[in-house]
Amino acid sequence: MIPPRLADHAASLAGLARRGRARRLLPALGHDFASNDYLGLAGSPALAEAVAEALSRGVAVGSGGSRLLRGNAVEHEALEEEAAAFFGAPRSLFFSTGHAANLAIFAALPRRGDLVVHDALIHASVHDGLALGRAEIASAAHGDVAAFAEAIADWRRRGGRGRPWIAVESLYSMDGDRAPLAELAALAEATDGFLVVDEAHATGVFGPGGRGLAADLDGRENVVVLHTCGKALGAAGALVCAHPILVDTLIDRARSFLYSTAPSPLLAAAVRAALRLVAAEPERRERLAARVALAERRLAETLAVAPSGSQILPVPIGDNARAVRIAAAMRESGFDLRAIRPPTVPEGTARLRLSITLNVDEPTIAAAIDRLAAVMAEDRR
């Protein structure tokens, strides 16, 4: 029996279940087609050895407080220095998560009177940060530079006097497509504005030396770049790369930085090791690219799915319940594939998100796609 005081919550959950939108936690079982561990670093001996080495020289497990109290460790500062050099940025700042970093950027950097124009498919964490900020907000059609320009022009016509901020992901997490960064950077320059690029799914995988798709923009005074550390880098946390004045503003004003316990110093040591691996082992990116190419060919041949050009390969389904059924059947077959449904993606665009990583070999990729084609055909009957 449901307690009366919980009835409203229970009814909401039941409604989500009827619409095929209820979420639940599932164990990681079978072959990995669901994680963001693109370079296979999360379980690598190299990262484990880096943590063990840090422990052996007395690095603490916990930080003991926020960075502004006693939680600012030598490991944090060493990581930030190495990351700035790796990405070609003047400064970097380490956050506990990518979500916390986006909260900080959009709550603290755009000022009252400014405008933030974000891509319509921008990550939820950006929306959360914008809700805490003071700037005006506008949405632009996905990947449409003209729509960004028109949003800024309309704001100016209505009397906008501050600075525009353009917010995009370099590689979109649900579609696997890319933002037109060069054109958006030119727009930011022409409008005396800023460009914020979330490189979450590109860091370590794309760009010279794995530095991301915005590698040639890092270091510009009006560009802020977020590199998450829990995807291709195999650890956790996030690095914000920006002009020193913007970094100091985050340290001074960003509540998700000010009032959070600092990340474990051991985590900082792991991220340092991951950056060095990315630089030293380009063959990881080459092997990943070959596996992505195979997956794209097989998806096109068996399911007529268009390539995304990245390691994120969405398979359109449409119906929420059908997406859940197919994903469950794939897991029962030993392939860990997950259904993505609204509100993570727009209504009517439920899909399977096939994530290609170095945790699976080419024969396994081929077998998974063949099995997916069979499951989808069976589910139509």
Is residue 320 annotated as a catalytic residue, yes or no? no
Q: Which of 80, 119, 136, 169 is catalytic?
A: 169
Helices (H), 254-342: 255-258, 265-280, 283-303, 320-332
Is residue 36 annotated as a catalytic residue, yes or no? yes
Q: Which residues pair with 339 in a beta bridge?
A: 352
The DSSP H or E segment spanning 105 is helix 98-108
CB 91 within 8 A of CB 247: yes
Residue 188 corresponds to which tokens in the numbers above?
């930011």
Classify burial at 197, counting beta carbons within 10 Å of its beta carbon; exposed 0-12, middle 13-18, buried 19 or more. Answer: buried
Q: Which of 31, 99, 118, 231 is catalytic?
A: 231
For 258, the 3-state DSSP assignment is helix
Q: Which of 36, 125, 260, 320 is catalytic?
A: 36
Nearby residues of 257 by Cβ (< 8 Å), 6 or more positions away: 66, 67, 93, 95, 100, 104, 250, 251
Is residue 123 annotated as a catalytic residue, yes or no? yes
Q: Which of 44, 96, 170, 173 is catalytic?
A: 173
Classify burial at 88, counting beta carbons within 10 Å of its beta carbon; exposed 0-12, middle 13-18, buried 19 or more. Answer: middle
Q: Which of 198, 199, 218, 336 is catalytic?
A: 198
The DSSP H or E segment spanning 117 is strand 115-119
Q: Which of 76, 123, 227, 243 is catalytic?
A: 123
d(CA 308, CA 69): 45
Q: Which of 31, 118, 201, 227 is catalytic?
A: 201
Q: Which residues are catalytic?
A: 36, 123, 169, 173, 198, 201, 231
